[in-house]
């Protein structure tokens, strides 16, 4: 398989420091809204990278569930591989890629668990079957077979036929950014890259070489 000739020449849009908001959170919300309005496939899908206790990086795709002035929120099993990595090293990197808009956003920062009340509130909004799944799946652990998972889910459903409470091992994380980069594809690989860097509590906006 020859992959050398696979390439795209990006040319749809440009990005300048002047058009970027002073806040990377506001700028992200603008871009996310454009992605949603443009019907980008899975606009909230984000690759989240972590580093475990042995110093090995690992990453996976999750769904962003909230953006607020503090940062970027997603929910997961605290006992999963990523959860254990966050316990060992409380920093994360996130990457959004919207190829239809020729855009990428990179976010780095500290990661913290949401409080129980916020996790409870979101869990209650999930479909019934998804709430059962949070109990049934020992995420990232080796599974003897699909039948064992189905049986466990059935047992959880029998135990909680009407209301499924949030498992104590499941909840939200927030990535509190200290670096955010907006990437806009441009012709000849001369891409526009605008970085926000937090310094002494203030955001510094600067252009990076492509």
The CATH number covering residue 80 comes to 2.30.110.10
The pLDDT score that the predictor gives to residue 135 is 94
63 labeled part of a ligand binding site: yes
207 labeled part of a ligand binding site: no
The pLDDT score that the predictor gives to residue 56 is 98
13 labeled part of a ligand binding site: no
The pLDDT score that the predictor gives to residue 114 is 98
The pLDDT score that the predictor gives to residue 119 is 98
User: Closest Cα partner for 170 from 208, 124, 109, 111?
Assistant: 124
131 labeled part of a ligand binding site: no
For residue 50, being part of any structural domain is answered with yes
62 labeled part of a ligand binding site: yes
135 labeled part of a ligand binding site: no
The pLDDT score that the predictor gives to residue 8 is 87
For residue 120, being part of any structural domain is answered with yes
The pLDDT score that the predictor gives to residue 7 is 87
With a cut of 50, which residues of the chain have pLDDT below it? none
Number of compact structural domains in the chain: 1
The pLDDT score that the predictor gives to residue 173 is 98
Domain that holds residue 203: 17-126+169-207
Residue pair 22/203 in contact by the 8 Å Cβ criterion: yes
For residue 146, being part of any structural domain is answered with no
Encode 54-79: b = buried (16+ Cβ within 10 Å), e = exposed. Answer: eeeeeeeebebebeeeebbbbbbbbb
For residue 180, being part of any structural domain is answered with yes
Average pLDDT over all residues of the chain? 96
For residue 2, being part of any structural domain is answered with no
65 labeled part of a ligand binding site: yes
């Amino acid at each position: 398989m020859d992959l050398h000739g696979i390439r795209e020449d990006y040319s749809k849009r440009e990005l300048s420091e002047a058009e970027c908001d002073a806040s990377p959170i506001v700028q992200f919300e603008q871009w996310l809204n454009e992605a949603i309005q443009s019907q980008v496939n899975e606009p909230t899908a984000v690759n989240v990278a972590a580093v475990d206790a042995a110093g090995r990086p690992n990453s996976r795709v999750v769904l962003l569930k909230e953006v607020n002035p503090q940062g970027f929120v997603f929910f997961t099993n605290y006992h999963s591989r990523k959860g254990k990595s966050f316990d060992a090293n409380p920093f994360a990197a996130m990457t959004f890629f919207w190829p239809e808009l020729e855009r990428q956003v990179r976010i780095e920062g500290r990661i913290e668990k949401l409080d129980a009340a916020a996790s409870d509130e979101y869990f209650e909004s999930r479909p019934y079957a998804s709430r059962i799944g949070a109990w049934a799946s020992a995420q990232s652990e080796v599974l003897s077979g699909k039948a064992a998972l189905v049986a466990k889910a059935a047992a959880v459903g029998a135990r909680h036929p009407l209301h499924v409470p949030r498992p104590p091992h499941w909840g939200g994380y927030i990535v509190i950014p200290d670096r955010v980069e907006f990437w806009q594809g441009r012709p000849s690989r001369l891409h526009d890259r605008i970085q926000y860097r937090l310094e002494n509590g203030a955001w510094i906006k600067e252009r990076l070489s492509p």
